[in-house]
Structure 1
Amino acid sequence: MQQPLEILKKYWQHDNFRDPQGEIIQSVLEGKDTFALMPTGGGKSICFQIPALIKPGICLVVSPLIALMKDQVANLSQRGIKAIALTGGLSPDAISDQLDNCKFGDYKFLYVSPERLQADWIIERIKELHINLVAIDEAHCVSQWGHDFRPAYLKISELKKHLPYVPFLALTASATKRVQDDIVTNLGLETPIVYKKSFFRENIAYMVFETEDKLHRLQQILTKNPEPSIIYVRNRKSCHDVSQQLQSLGYKATYYHGGLREKEKEANMKAWMQEKVQVIVATNAFGMGIDKVNVKTVIHIQLPENPENYYQEAGRVGRNGEKSFAILLINKSDIVVTQNQFIEVLPDRKFLKNVYSRLNSYLQIAYGEGIGQTFPFNLNAFCWQYKFSVVKTYNALQFLDRQSIITLSKQFSESITLQFLVSSKEVLRYTSLNPADEEMVLAILRNYAGIFDMETAINTNLITRKAKTSEQELLALMQRLQQKGIISYTSKGADSSLTFNEIREDDLTINRVAVFLEQQNKIKLQQFETIVHYATNTNRCKSRLLLDYFDEEKSKDCGICSYCITKNKKSRNIIDLAQSVLQLLEKGSCNSREIEQKLELSSQETIYVLQLLLENEKIKLNTNNQYIIK
Structure 2
Amino acid sequence: MQEALAILQKYWKHDKFRSLQNEIIDSVLSGRDTFALMPTGGGKSVCFQVPAMMKEGICLVISPLVALMKDQVANLQKRDIKAIALTGGIKSDEMIDLLDNCQFGNYKFLYVSPERLQSDWIMDRIKNLPINLITIDEAHCVSQWGHDFRPAYLKISALKEHFPKVPFLALTATATPKVKKDIITELGLHEPKQFEKSFARENIAYMVFEVEDKLFRVEQILKKNPQPSIIYVRNRKSCFDISSQLQSLGFKATYYHGGLTSREKDKNMQLWMEEKAQVIVATNAFGMGIDKANVKTVIHIQLPENIENYYQEAGRAGRNGDKAYAVLLTSPSDIIQTENQFIQVLPDKPFLNTMYVKLCNYFQIAYGEGIDEQFPFNLHHFCLKYGFPTLKTFNALRFLDGQGVITLSQEFSEKITLQFLIPSKEVIRYTSLNPNDEEIILAILRTYPGIYEMQTAFNLPLIAKKSHHSEAEIQAVLHKLKDKEIIEYHSKNNDATLIFNEIREDERTISRVSKYLERQNQLKKEQLQSVLHYIKEKNVCKSKIILDYFGEKATTDCGICSYCITKTKTRKDYNTLSKKIIKLLESEDLNSREIQNKTKDTSDDVIFVLQQLLENEILIIQKNNKYTLKS
CA distance in 2 between partners of 1:582 and 1:236 (Å): 41
Is 1:124 aligned to 2:127, yes or no?
no
Q: Which moved more, 1:432-441 or 1:39-48?
A: 432-441
Indicate conservation of the 8 Å contact 2:355/2:393, yes or no: yes
Deviation of 1:580 after TM superposition, in Å, equals 6.7
Residue 184 of structure 2: aligned partner: 184
Percent of aligned pairs with the same residue? 63
Is 1:591 aligned to 2:570, yes or no?
no
Residue 229 of structure 2: aligned partner: 229
Structure 1, residues 478-517: CA drift from partner, whole Å, max 9, x if none? 1111111111212112110000111000011000110100
Q: CA distance change for structure 1 residues 569 and 626 in 2, over 3 Å: closer, same or farther?
A: closer
Deviation of 1:591 after TM superposition, in Å, equals 2.5
**Structure 2 counterpart of 1:602, one-letter code:** V
Indicate conservation of the 8 Å contact 1:595/1:606, yes or no: no
Q: CA distance change for structure 1 residues 626 and 361 in 2, over 3 Å: closer, same or farther?
A: closer
Deviation of 1:186 after TM superposition, in Å, equals 0.5
CA distance in 2 between partners of 1:358 and 1:28 (Å): 48
Deviation of 1:13 after TM superposition, in Å, equals 1.3
Deviation of 1:536 after TM superposition, in Å, equals 0.8
- 1:491-506 pair list within 5 angstroms: 491-506=491-506
Indicate conservation of the 8 Å contact 1:142/1:151, yes or no: yes
Structure 1, residues 243-286: CA drift from partner, whole Å, max 9, x if none? 11111111111111111122211211121111111111111111
Indicate conservation of the 8 Å contact 1:229/1:280, yes or no: yes
One of 586, 602, 607 as aligned partner of 1:603: 607
CA distance in 1 between partners of 2:14 and 2:493 (Å): 47
Q: Secondary structure at the match of 1:388?
A: coil
CA RMSD of aligned residues (A): 2.3
Residue 618 of structure 1: aligned partner: none
Indicate conservation of the 8 Å contact 2:547/2:554, yes or no: yes
Is 1:102 aligned to 2:99, yes or no?
no
Indicate conservation of the 8 Å contact 1:414/1:457, yes or no: yes
CA distance in 2 between partners of 1:180 and 1:321 (Å): 28
Q: Secondary structure at the match of 2:115?
A: helix
Indicate conservation of the 8 Å contact 1:577/1:609, yes or no: no
Deviation of 1:582 after TM superposition, in Å, equals 11
- 1:23-172 pair list within 5 angstroms: 23-172=23-172
Q: CA distance change for structure 1 residues 443 and 252 in 2, over 3 Å: closer, same or farther?
A: farther
Residue 385 of structure 1: aligned partner: 385
Residue 245 of structure 2: aligned partner: 245
**Structure 1 counterpart of 2:419, one-letter code:** Q
Q: Which moved more, 1:344-353 or 1:240-249?
A: 240-249
Deviation of 1:583 after TM superposition, in Å, equals 12
Q: Secondary structure at the match of 2:111?
A: strand
Q: Show structure 1 runs of 4+ deviating over 4 A.
A: 578-585, 606-612
CA distance in 2 between partners of 1:404 and 1:329 (Å): 37
Deviation of 1:16 after TM superposition, in Å, equals 1.1
**Structure 2 counterpart of 1:396, one-letter code:** A
Indicate conservation of the 8 Å contact 1:272/1:279, yes or no: yes
**Structure 2 counterpart of 1:90, one-letter code:** I
**TM-score normalised by the chain length of structure 2:** 0.93
Q: Secondary structure at the match of 1:332?
A: coil
Q: CA distance change for structure 1 residues 599 and 125 in 2, over 3 Å: closer, same or farther?
A: closer
CA distance in 2 between partners of 1:440 and 1:2 (Å): 69
Residue 293 of structure 2: aligned partner: 293
Indicate conservation of the 8 Å contact 1:234/1:283, yes or no: yes
- 1:604-619 pair list within 5 angstroms: 604-606=608-610
Q: CA distance change for structure 1 residues 583 and 549 in 2, over 3 Å: closer, same or farther?
A: closer
CA distance in 1 between partners of 2:418 and 2:40 (Å): 37
Q: Which moved more, 1:84-93 or 1:432-441?
A: 432-441
Indicate conservation of the 8 Å contact 2:596/2:602, yes or no: no
Indicate conservation of the 8 Å contact 1:68/1:288, yes or no: yes
Is 1:259 aligned to 2:259, yes or no?
yes
Q: Secondary structure at the match of 2:231?
A: strand
Q: CA distance change for structure 1 residues 192 and 599 in 2, over 3 Å: closer, same or farther?
A: closer
**Structure 2 counterpart of 1:605, one-letter code:** V
**Structure 1 counterpart of 2:353, one-letter code:** K
Deviation of 1:599 after TM superposition, in Å, equals 4.0
- 1:110-509 pair list within 5 angstroms: 110-509=110-509
Deviation of 1:574 after TM superposition, in Å, equals 4.5
CA distance in 1 between partners of 2:467 and 2:571 (Å): 56
CA distance in 2 between partners of 1:274 and 1:298 (Å): 17
**Structure 2 counterpart of 1:386, one-letter code:** Y
CA distance in 1 between partners of 2:578 and 2:187 (Å): 64
CA distance in 1 between partners of 2:504 and 2:23 (Å): 48
Structure 1, residues 599-628: CA drift from partner, whole Å, max 9, x if none? 45232425778999x99xxxxxxxxx999x
Is 1:553 aligned to 2:556, yes or no?
no
CA distance in 1 between partners of 2:10 and 2:606 (Å): 51
Is 1:533 aligned to 2:537, yes or no?
no
Structure 1, residues 18-56: CA drift from partner, whole Å, max 9, x if none? 111110011011111100000011110010000011111
Indicate conservation of the 8 Å contact 2:596/2:606, yes or no: no
Deviation of 1:432 after TM superposition, in Å, equals 2.8
CA distance in 2 between partners of 1:428 and 1:593 (Å): 42
CA distance in 2 between partners of 1:611 and 1:15 (Å): 52
Structure 1, residues 560-615: CA drift from partner, whole Å, max 9, x if none? 00000001213443442267779999xxx992242466445232425778999x99
CA distance in 2 between partners of 1:260 and 1:352 (Å): 30
Which structure 2 residue ranges, 5 or more long, are not aligned? 620-625
CA distance in 2 between partners of 1:479 and 1:389 (Å): 30
Indicate conservation of the 8 Å contact 2:404/2:501, yes or no: yes
Which structure 1 residue ranges, 5 or more long, are not aligned? 616-624
Indicate conservation of the 8 Å contact 1:305/1:528, yes or no: yes
Deviation of 1:172 after TM superposition, in Å, equals 0.3
Residue 623 of structure 2: aligned partner: none
Deviation of 1:434 after TM superposition, in Å, equals 2.5
